[in-house]
Structure 1
């Protein structure tokens, strides 16, 4: 029996579709790949058509699947897609 890595088993957050994640990644790329302050989250939400809850859920999901990293001074940076 083979064992899959934990990240392969991670499910997308409730209320979030795969398309939402793709839109989120594109929007984050347009602001320099980092989410640190309110000024970063608002344009991502507007561009991707997401609520704050969806945005934070996607951020947590990407952190748990190693597609984002926490920054030393707070916030996160994406390490996938256009931000790789």
Structure 2
């Protein structure tokens, strides 16, 4: 494989979630707190009333909560809902 091909292959795996990295400035403990907080609100994050408790329970900002949600989607630990929300699919939220 040539160098550009290798880089494209690595990029493709990254997009599929295999190499998804947690957001900058968010620790593993905060990600675990996110999981617990989302579980406590019923596993779905759809509206403002869902995001606020997660922010309060984790100490994360709205932007960080969104970034962790995107990270979970990339790792296939969450799914998008038809109403525009997101459902966590791991731990107590696993189907």
Give TM-score scaled by structure 2 length: 0.79
What is the aligned partner in structure 2 of residue 40 from structure 1? Answer: 50
Structure 1 residue runs of 5 or longer lacking an equivalent are none
After superposition, what is the alpha-carbon deviation per residue over 1:9-35, rounded to whole angstroms, capped at 9, x for unaligned?
211111111111100000000000000
What is the aligned partner in structure 2 of residue 61 from structure 1? Answer: 71
Higher relative contact order (CA 8 A, sep 6+): 1
SS at match of 1:69: strand
What is the aligned partner in structure 2 of residue 70 from structure 1? Answer: 80
SS at match of 1:15: coil
Give TM-score scaled by structure 1 length: 0.89
CA distance in 1 between counterparts of 2:53 and 2:70 reads 18
Structure 2 residue runs of 5 or longer lacking an equivalent are 1-12
What is the aligned partner in structure 1 of residue 27 from structure 2? Answer: 17
What is the aligned partner in structure 1 of residue 60 from structure 2? Answer: 50
SS at match of 1:77: strand
Structure index of larger Rg = 2
